[in-house]
Amino acid sequence: AQSVSQHNHHVILSEAASLELGCNYSYGGTVNLFWYVQYPGQHLQLLLKYFSGDPLVKGIKGFEAEFIKSKFSFNLRKPSVQWSDTAEYFCAVNANNAGNMLTFGGGTRLMVKP
Amino acid sequence: GAVVSQHPSRVICKSGTSVKIECRSLDFQATTMFWYRQFPKQSLMLMATSNEGSKATYEQGVEKDKFLINHASLTLSTLTVTSAHPEDSSFYICSARQSYEQYFGPGTRLTVT
């Protein structure tokens, strides 16, 4: 069965700092990869996704993620965070043999200090 | 964009009663919807996959007789928590599939007293 791990449970940054959130998955086959964000009191929203092609994916709000197949990783990055980026971030994986099922990582709670 | 709604957003019920939560895809049809449960400070755990016109597929450890799922139309799936107990208190989130993506509802916070 596939699993997803996010190494950082809580991250605190100051505004303008750079962000990198780790995501690793365990599945040897073809995967689709996602990052979702959940702002306080709001529902999950898709930040970006990778299906195929260029492993460096750009999403909304200046976020990007890089798929490194050899490392089974899909880390999320942002060069300069803002206070409004305070939220919880979830990495999710869909393995091609799992239908449309998404497996979520444990989430990373990001707090950006103004 | 694709919008998914849930109703109610919050519900408080007494132990032993049943609660129905609705999940609707507002501007698209979804043959597949998913139900998740999220405990405080934890990730989403898939409970079941709801397929229009057929029985839901439950994940291991999820009691199908307790969490009844009905997907009667292409825009509506319902989750009924039967004979609810305090340990069923949680945040329930649905999603609807469109193409390869899932669009999430805002969630329903269930509190069982």
- By C-alpha distance, the chain B residue nearest A94 is B100
Q: Which residues pair with B23 in a beta bridge?
A: B6, B77
Mean pLDDT of B2-25: 95
Q: How far is B18 from chain A (nearest CA, A)?
A: 25
pLDDT tens-digit readout, A22-36: 999 998 788 899 999
Most confident range (mean pLDDT) of A26-35, A42-51, A71-80 is A71-80
> What is chain A's Cα-based Rg?
14
* Token pair in block for residue B12: 């408080």
Can you tell me the distance from the alpha carbon of A38 to that of A84, in angstroms, rounded to the nearest whole number?
12
A39: Cβ contacts below 8 Å, ≥ 6 apart: A45, A86, A87
Mean pLDDT of A15-20: 97
The whole-number pLDDT of residue A27 equals 84
- By C-alpha distance, the chain A residue nearest B31 is A100
Mutate to test the interface with A, among B104, B108, B109 (most CBs of A within 10 A): B104
